[in-house]
Structure 1
Amino acid sequence: MLVVENLTKRFGRNAAVDSMNFSVDRPMMLGIIGRSGAGKSTFLRMMNRMTDATQGSLTFEGRDVLTLRGRERRNWQADCAMIFQQFNLVPRMDVVSNVLHGTLNRRSTFATMFNLFPREDIHHAIDILERMGIAEHAAKRAEALSGGQQQRVAIARALMQDPKVILADEPIASLDPMNAQIVMETLRRIHEEDGRMVIANLHTLDTARRYCDRVIGMRDGRIVFDGTPAQLTTGVARDIYGADDSFSEDATSTEIRDAARPALTARAAATA
């Protein structure tokens, strides 16, 4: 389904991604971990065609997306939705209009300029917000929502594109543990219910183990681990992060302890 071969991105003499090779044979939730500067975000930006590769190929369903130009490239970007750490919403625009921006690739310039949306698209956007648990905020400005709610709006906007793949670049890095859990459970549910591939860049090992089917570890632009969550031991994590024996997972944990989870989850659903 997805084949990455010798994928490389250089900035001058430095290789942000260095001969990356892996394949995915079915829709899954794939986590990519590694320290800052490991090449995780650069890989997602190449896959979404926000930046060009220096060399290599990235083939999805038999088509090398790195060779696409013009309309074909834009169509691929619709099929490959991107979710960012900082949400990338229009703060003063209402929530439902932000979601409807997921349809911009298939609308005319005139309709885009005057925010003219078909009634069926508006209903569909509200249905997606209902699925995200935030339909009651549809008429509010995006800036009035909490960080967790804004990230769910960003996910709703991505779903409005009806993509085959969702790329999430550090989707919980700026969220507290309760909201981080809600966002990750939302992405996991989208994968399971819709059969969509989800690729998420993550910093925290417990999150990768809990929500992902497979984990890739990157260090200095190269893949240094590719395996199941169960194989992601503390020793392996030390190798990925280039850490010594003092490395502790607790410092990066976003886990909500089981004993407190019911109360926290209820509170998060009410206030997130």
Structure 2
Amino acid sequence: MLTVENLTKRFGSNTAVDKATFTVDRPLMIGIIGRSGAGKSTFLRMMNRLTDATSGRLLFEGRDVLALRGAEKRAWQSDCAMIFQQFNLVPRMDVVSNVLHGTLAQRSSLATLFNVYPRADIHRAIDILDRLGIAAHAAKRAEALSGGQQQRVAIARALMQDPKVILADEPIASLDPMNAQIVMEALRRIHEEDGRMVIANLHTLDTARRYCDRVIGMRDGRIVFDGTPEQLTTGVARDIYGAGAEFSENATSTEIRDPVAAEEIRQAEVTV
């Protein structure tokens, strides 16, 4: 499905992504890990065409998306939805309207100007919110929701695009452990139930191991690890992060080990 060949991005004399190369033969949930500045976000932005590559190729289903221009590029950005760490919602707009923004690329300029949506799209947006456990908040302003709820609204907006690929750039970095797990569980369900490829930049090893089928480690712009969660040992992690023997995974863990808290998460997914 996806082939990345020598993908490179330079900003002046700085190389943010250095000849990244890998292939994905079927829809997977992939976690990309590495310290800040490793090139994770730049890679996702190139894939979504928010940033142009300096060189290399990125083929999806045999088509080089880096060569797309105009309407074809916009169509690819609909097929390749992006979720950001800071949600990128319109705070004073109601939740369902924020979700409906996922259809903007498919609508006329006049309809967009007057904020007019087909009834079928409105019903679909509410159905997606219900799937994510937040339909009860559809009429509220986005700014009235918690961080975890806002991120689920952002996921719902991405699903309104009906994408083939969902890219998530540090989707849980600003969330507490409980909301982080709710969001990651939502992304995992979307991957499993819809058969969509999900590629997420993550900052904790336990999250990558728990939710991803495959983990890619980046260091100084290069891919230094590409394997299964089981192969992501503490020793491998030290190499990815350039850390010494003092490296401890516990310092960045988002896992909730308390069974009572775990049950609260399950209830929250149903009722929140």
The TM-score bracket by the shorter chain reads over 0.9
Name the CA distance, whole Å, in 1 between partners of 2:258 and 2:88: 32
In structure 1, what is the Cα distance between the partners aligned to 2:271 and 2:144? 13
Amino acid corresponding to residue 190 of structure 1 in structure 2:
I
Distance 1:64 1:37 in 2: 26
Q: In the alignment, what sits opposite 1:128?
A: 128
What is the CA–CA distance in structure 1 between the aligned matches of 2:271 and 2:141, rounded to whole Å?
17
Structure 2 unmatched ranges of 5 or more? none
Q: How many residues align?
A: 272
Residue type of the alignment partner of 1:207: T
Distance 1:266 1:60, change over 3 A: closer
Residue identity matched to 1:107: R
CA distance in 1, matches of 2:216, 2:263: 33
Give the deviation of 1:191 after TM superposition: 0.2
Instruction: Tell me which stretches of 4 or more aligned residues in structure 1 moved more than 6 Å.
Output: none
- Cα shift readout 1:18-49 (whole Å, capped 9, x = no counterpart): 00000000000000000000000000000000
Where does residue 141 of structure 1 map in the other structure?
A: 141
Aligned partners of 2:8 and 2:15 also within 8 Å: yes
In 1, distance between residues paired with 2:237 and 2:206? 11
Residue 212 of structure 1 corresponds to which residue in structure 2? Answer: 212
Q: Which residue of 2 aligns with 1:72?
A: 72
Cα distance in 2, alignment partners of residues 167 and 265 from structure 1: 24
Question: What's the CA shift for 1:249?
Answer: 0.1
Deviation at 1:265, TM superposition (A): 1.4
Shift of 1:266: 4.6
Residues 119-143 of structure 1 deviation map (CA, whole Å, 9 limit, x = unaligned) = 0000000000000100000000000
Preserved CA contact (<8 Å) 1:214 1:228: yes
Once the two structures are superposed, the pairs formed by residues 153-192 of structure 1 within 5 Å of their partners are 153-192=153-192
SS in 2 for 1:260: helix
Question: What is the match of residue 244 of structure 2?
Answer: 244
How many Å separate the matches in 2 of 1:238 and 1:49?
A: 31
User: What is the aligned partner in structure 1 of residue 44 from structure 2?
Assistant: 44
- For 1:45, the aligned partner's letter is R
- TM-score norm. by structure 1 comes to 0.98
SS in 2 for 1:173: coil
1:6 maps to what in 2? 6
Unaligned runs of 5+ in 1: none
Q: Which amino acid aligns with 1:39?
A: G
| Offset from partner CA, 1:244-270 (integer Å, 9 cap, x none) | 000000001000105334433156447
The answer to whether the Cα contact below 8 Å between 1:178 and 1:268 also exists between their aligned partners in 2 is no
Residues 177 and 254 in structure 1, CA contact (< 8 A), matched pair in contact too: yes
The corresponding residue for 1:223 is 223
User: Does the CA contact (< 8 Å) of 1:83 and 1:169 recur in 2?
Assistant: yes
Task: Tell me how far apart the structure 1 counterparts of residues 143 and 87 of structure 2 sit (CA, whole Å).
Answer: 11
**Percentage of matched positions with identical amino acids:** 82
Q: Tell me the C-alpha RMSD between the 2 structures.
A: 1.1
Q: Does 1:101 align with 2:101?
A: yes
Distance 1:122 1:271, change over 3 A: closer
The amino acid of 1:183's aligned partner reads: V
Which secondary structure state, in structure 1, belongs to the residue aligned with residue 259 of structure 2?
coil
Mapped partners of 1:187, 1:114: distance in 2: 32
Match of 1:253 in 2: 253
Compared CA separation, residues 51 and 129, structure 1 to 2 (3 A): same
Partner Cα distance (1:163, 1:270) in 2: 25
In the TM superposition, residue 271 of structure 1 has moved relative to its aligned partner by 7.9
Query: Does structure 1 conserve the Cα–Cα contact (< 8 Å) formed by 2:2 and 2:59?
Result: yes
Aligned residue number for residue 91 of structure 1? 91
Tell me the distance in 2 between the aligned counterparts of 1:50 and 1:16.
15
C-alpha contact (below 8 Å) 2:32/2:40 kept by paired residues? yes
Aligned 8 A contact 1:5 1:58 in 2? yes
